[in-house]
Amino acid sequence: MHSFDLSMEHITKIEGNASLKLKVEDGKVTDIKFATDEYKRFFTEAMKGKDLVAIPQHLARICGTCSNSHIMCSIEASENALDIKPTEQTKLLRTLVMNGLMIRDHALHLYLFSMPDIFNKDAFLDFDESDPYQHQLLHDGFEVKSAGNFLATLIAGRSVHATYPVIGGFLKFPDEAGIAEAIQKLQNVRSGVLRLIEVFKNAPFHFDRKTKYIALVPENSFGYIQGVIGASDGQKIEEKDFRDHLEKTVIPYSQAVGYTYEGEGYMVGALARINLAKDKLHPKTKESASEVLNLFPSTDIFYNNLAQAIETLHCVDESIDILSNNKFTPEPLIKAEAKSGAVGIGVIEAPRGTLYHKIIIGEDGKVSGGEVIVPTGQNQINIERDVAVLVQNLLDQSNSAEAQLDKDKIVFEIEKLIRAYDPCMSCAAHFLKVEWL
Amino acid sequence: MEEFKKIKIGWFSYSCCEDNTVVMTEVLNNHWQEWKKIFDFRHVRVLKKNNIFDEFDIAFIEGAVASEKQEAEIKDIRSRSKKLVTVGSCAVIGIPAGNRNNFTEEQHANIDFLVMKFGAFPKVKRVSEVVKVDVEIPGCPMSPENFLEKVNLLVAEFKQHA
């Protein structure tokens, strides 16, 4: 029977620094610790004393990868605190900001992080350009990423730490030439996104995992900003009540904090969103991906990748639709004074799952406190448990076959599974106040 | 004519949001074919699994220095690198990763037990406080144009001395 300690100091091709420690005694996994090694940067403590107007840009610095979703969530929380209702044009522009982020971020994860595992390559750049299929995927990858980056830059000013979206509206508006170019780029990558869906539909990796799924479920069309928090057990939770349903769980060895829902681990992210709201996807997406959508709802964690690919298609289709059928004209910002004691909550779907921001206004009109709950913190408990099950399964197979255990294979299988969750460790290590004892 | 030897690249992230890593991967969209020919991505965890930590022509450091462990690693990287380039505000000026350097006493009371628990420095440092830096690319995040300009200058320098 196998006994060993496994220590993975740096898990590669994920966002941020994560480590994993595993103990196996007599063929059984007896201990596992999945942790972030990012040092806390105390962003929620640093909110205190700031003007509300500074908070979206401040909280964006929690994470470069997800920065625009932190901006959008923080703007929503701020506007709820100020009782500002955004205009219809602002809502459309925000949808485009999120779509640009999703295309760029999902493409980074799917092509550069996860796809090399399928093709048994060390890196996406190692794909064989003399092989027509791999050559095509290489070009697809950078073109899809580039289209998302262009859309985000056109609408939001930058694809990282966006400068145009602010509390009450936008500082700048897309021009006709930019809109035409964005439509062209998005149309050009659509066939590549369909190939992307095929790659992850046919990927040979599977890990079945029964769990609850939580996501913001829109009332009408699929999206990332509006809606009610829905769970796979059928429960609907208003955004303002979110804290009554999530319990904070201290993970003493990690600089991040985990969460449970109704006492159990749960999953957020693209898989949860497609499981709960696939019927609301853009009509063109539903038409083109009808066969693959029959695979959902799914309990296969690796289908989180497939769900991201489907979402990428939705964001391409919806963005072409919005850009082609709307005129954007300059609008003044909606302004309001921060009132003492006001509390604003923002809930949106970031690429990796549900993101919560809470902002409290103090007596002096400045921010007196807040809270941020990130997707990876919510997935962390499931990730850890799933890795333990995965390794135990590999050990059982190895023991029964009396085969030599290949530690490199275990490490590879662990990394693949963790990548399927697409964790963001920069987000996970932002400050959350913890009572340790 | 002797074949151009690829420039060995290291990319390392410390205390930060990794926004510069994202910008670098976006710059890659338009430059990957050219970069594949001239760069040996020797240690770039965001791009590959099998990273080699031996020596670098150019080491890029992103993020501030938050602990003795990080300081020791950065000194080690410096000793292996011909050029060391800091990218982004956290590496260049230590902020915003070093938010807590400017906290009030009350704020410190709320966080210091966590700073101690995980062995972080009492004050976060910028990279130039711990090693010699050859090129600084500021910004939060760095601008893609400035990054490309500095990278191209370094490539020209290495090609000249090849």
- Mapped to the 3 state alphabet, what secondary structure does B106-158 carry? HHHHHHHHHHHHCCEEEEEECHHHCCCCCEEECECCECHHHHHHHHHHHHHHH
Q: Does A255 touch chain B (CB under 8 A)?
A: yes
CB atoms closer than 10 angstroms to residue A247: 13
- Of all residues in chain A, the percent with pLDDT exceeding 90 is 65
Residue A317 has pLDDT above 70, yes or no: yes
* Integer Cα distance of B148 and B139 in angstroms: 14
Q: How far is CA B63 from CA A54, A68, B51, B82, B103, in A?
A: 22, 19, 20, 20, 19
Q: What pLDDT, on a 0 to 100 scale, did the predictor assign at position A436?
A: 22
Q: What pLDDT, on a 0 to 100 scale, did the predictor assign at position A24?
A: 87
What confidence tier does A434 reach under pLDDT thresholds 50, 70, 90?
Answer: very low
**pTM for this model (two decimals):** 0.93
Q: Does B113 touch chain A (CB under 8 A)?
A: yes
The packing angle between helices A303-324 and A407-421, to 10°, is 30
Higher per-residue confidence, A3 vs B142: B142
* Integer Cα distance of B29 and B32 in angstroms: 6
Complex ipTM value: 0.94
* Integer Cα distance of B41 and A198 in angstroms: 29
pLDDT digits (tens, 9 = 90+) for A197-221: 999 999 999 999 888 999 999 988 9
pLDDT digits (tens, 9 = 90+) for A131-155: 999 999 999 999 999 999 999 999 9
* Integer Cα distance of A245 and A395 in angstroms: 36
Q: What pLDDT, on a 0 to 100 scale, did the predictor assign at position A269?
A: 96
* Burial class, A88, CB count within 10 angstroms (exposed 0-12 / middle 13-18 / buried 19+): exposed
Task: Using CA coordinates, name the residue in chain B closest to A111.
Answer: B47
pLDDT digits (tens, 9 = 90+) for A260-269: 888 888 899 9
Backbone angles phi, psi at A112, to 5 degrees: -85, -30
Q: Does A433 touch chain B (CB under 8 A)?
A: yes
* Integer Cα distance of A83 and A259 in angstroms: 29
What tokens appear for B25 in the block? 């991967």
* Integer Cα distance of A348 and A355 in angstroms: 5
What tokens appear for A293 in the block? 């959508």
**Could you tell me which residues come within 8 angstroms of residue B128 by beta carbon, excluding any fewer than 6 positions away?**
B86, B92, B136
Q: Which of A45, A64, A434 sits opposite B17 (nearest CB)?
A: A64
Region A362-378: mean pLDDT is 91
- 3-class secondary-structure state, position B8: strand
Q: Which residues of chain B have pLDDT under 50?
A: 1
| Cross-chain residue pair B110–A38, CB shorter than 8 Å | no
CB of A64 closer than 8 Å to CB of A321: no
Higher per-residue confidence, A433 vs A260: A260
Closest listed residue to residue A35, CA positions, set A13, A9, A57, A3? A9
Q: What pLDDT, on a 0 to 100 scale, did the predictor assign at position B3?
A: 64
- 3-class secondary-structure state, position B37: helix
| Cross-chain residue pair A149–B29, CB shorter than 8 Å | yes
Higher per-residue confidence, A18 vs A55: A55
Q: Does A125 touch chain B (CB under 8 A)?
A: yes
Q: Does B37 touch chain A (CB under 8 A)?
A: no
CB atoms closer than 10 angstroms to residue B65: 32
Going by DSSP bridges, is the β-strand pair A18-25/A4-8 parallel, antiparallel, or unpaired?
antiparallel
Calculate the CA dihedral of residues A285, A291, A294, A300 and round it to 10 degrees: -90
Task: Using CA coordinates, name the residue in chain A closest to B121.
Answer: A39
* Integer Cα distance of A408 and A428 in angstroms: 27
Q: What pLDDT, on a 0 to 100 scale, did the predictor assign at position A255?
A: 59
Residues of B in contact with A160 (CB under 8 A): 19, 22-23, 26, 141
pLDDT digits (tens, 9 = 90+) for B96-114: 999 999 999 999 998 888 8
Q: What pLDDT, on a 0 to 100 scale, did the predictor assign at position A16?
A: 65
Q: What pLDDT, on a 0 to 100 scale, did the predictor assign at position A435?
A: 29
The alpha carbon of residue A210 is apart from the nearest alpha carbon of chain B, in Å, by: 29
The alpha carbon of residue B123 is apart from the nearest alpha carbon of chain A, in Å, by: 11
What confidence tier does A292 reach under pLDDT thresholds 50, 70, 90?
Answer: very high
How high does pLDDT run on average in chain B?
94
| Cross-chain residue pair A160–B100, CB shorter than 8 Å | no
Upper half-sphere CA count for residue B93 (Cβ side, 13 Å) = 11
Region A92-112: mean pLDDT is 97
- Asked if residue B96 has a cis previous peptide bond (ω within 30° of 0), the answer is yes
